[in-house]
Amino acid sequence: MTDLSTMLPPALRKALDLLTDPPAEPDVSKGYLDLLNTPEDDDVAKNTGVIQAAWASTIGSFFYDNVQALSRRFIAAWQLPIDWLSIPPGGTALDVGCGPGSITAQLARAVGPDGLALGVDISEPMLARAVNSAAGSQVGFLRADAQRLPLRDQTVDAAVSIAVLQLIPDPAATLAEIARVLRPGGRLAVMVPTLRPPIDLGIKLPTGGAHLFSEDEIGDILEDHGFVSVRTKSIGQLQWVRGKLG
C-alpha cells in the first residue's frame, strides 16, 4: 500500500503529525490540505454576510491581498509584533484566518528552516493565493474552520489572528480553540476592529455580517481561557490584543 503521507510537501507532512484526526487520503490537490466537507462541518455556524462573501471570491481575495500589503507597509496598526511573540527557532506558529498567506510567511521566517508555520483559512480563493505566494518547505496551509481547529492540544508555540475574528460567527469559540492548541507559555496576538465612541452610532450601522468588538471584549475572553499578561492597544478603530497562555 502506498504511504500517501510521503507524497506530501514537507510542511504538510509535518502538519499531519499535529492533526487530531489526520485523513487517510490527504487531499492536497490544490496545494493546501483540505480538511473541510466532512459531516461534522455541518454543525458549525457559517458567516453568510456580504463582507465574507466578498473576501471569499477570487476578485475579493485579490483586492484584499493588495490592500493588506499596502496597509502593512504604511500603516503602523498592521505591523505584526513578531519579536514579542518569542517564537522559538524550530517551533510551530499558527496563523488563524491566514488569507493570502503574507502573515504566515512572516511567521515562517521567525520559526526558521527547522520550524513550521501553518496558515488556516476557510476560503479557497484566499488559500490559492497563499499557496502561490508563500508555500514552502516550512510553510503549509490548511483549509479548516477556525471555530474547530484540526490540531491536537498543546501543539503550537505561538499564534496570530489578524483582522479576521470579526468575520467568524463565534469568535469566542475560535479563541478557545487557539487556547487549546497553544502550549503553556505560548503567546497570541490578535487584531480586530473595535467599537469606540460614538458607540451607539456604530452599533446602528450595517456591518455586512462582521462583528464589531467592544473595547474589552477580546481581552476578557482571553482571560477567561487562561491567558495572563493580557495587553490591549488601540490605534484608531483597530485594536491589538496580546496575551500569554498561563
HSE-up of residue 169 (Cα within 13 Å, Cβ side): 11
56 or 24, greater pLDDT = 24
The yes-or-no verdict on residue 107 having pLDDT over 90 is yes
pLDDT tens digits for 157-189? 999 999 999 999 999 999 999 999 999 999 999
- Tell me which of 61 and 32 has the higher pLDDT: 32
Separation CA 5–CA 150 (nearest Å) = 17
Does the pLDDT at position 81 exceed 80?
Answer: yes
- Which residue did the predictor score with more confidence, 50 or 236? 236
> Do residues 143 and 125 touch, judged by C-beta distance below 8 A?
no
In a domain, 3, yes or no: no
Q: Output 213 or 196, whichever has higher pLDDT.
A: 213
In a domain, 13, yes or no: no
**Residue 15 domain-assigned (yes or no):** no
Any domain includes 5: no
Residue 7 lies in a domain: no
200 HSE (CA, 13 A, CB side): 0
**pLDDT given at position 54:** 55
State how far the Cα of 185 lies from the Cα of 174, in Å rounded to an integer. 19
pLDDT beyond 80 at 5: no
How many domains are there within the chain?
Answer: 1
- DSSP summary character for residue 222: H
* Residue 142, CA distances (Å) to 66, 159, 212 in order: 22, 15, 26
Does the structure show a pLDDT above 90 at 46?
Answer: no
Among 31-40, 74-83, 107-116, 191-200, top mean pLDDT goes to: 107-116
Q: What sign has the CA pseudo-torsion 235, 111, 150, 230?
A: negative
Residue 51: domain span: 27-38+47-245
Q: Is residue 64 part of a domain?
A: yes
DSSP 49-109: SHHHHHHTSHHHHHHHHHHHHHHHHH-GGG---HHHH-PPTT-EEEEET-TTSHHHHHHHH
Task: Tell me what the pLDDT averaged over the chain comes to.
Answer: 84
Position 12 in a domain? no
pLDDT band at 205 (very low <50, low <70, confident <90, very high): very low
Alpha helices (H) along 101-242: 102-111, 124-134, 171-181, 199-204, 217-224
Place of cell 509535518: 14
As given in the structure block, the three cell numbers for residue 200 are 451607539
Residue 235 banded pLDDT, cuts 50, 70, 90: confident
Q: What is the CATH number of the domain that holds 172?
A: 3.40.50.150
Tell me how far apart the alpha carbons of residues 103 and 81 are, in angstroms, rounded to a whole number: 11
**Is residue 153 one of the residues assigned to a domain?**
yes
Mean pLDDT over 139-165 rounds to: 97
Residue 126, pLDDT > 60, answer yes
Assess whether pLDDT exceeds 80 at residue 44. Answer: no
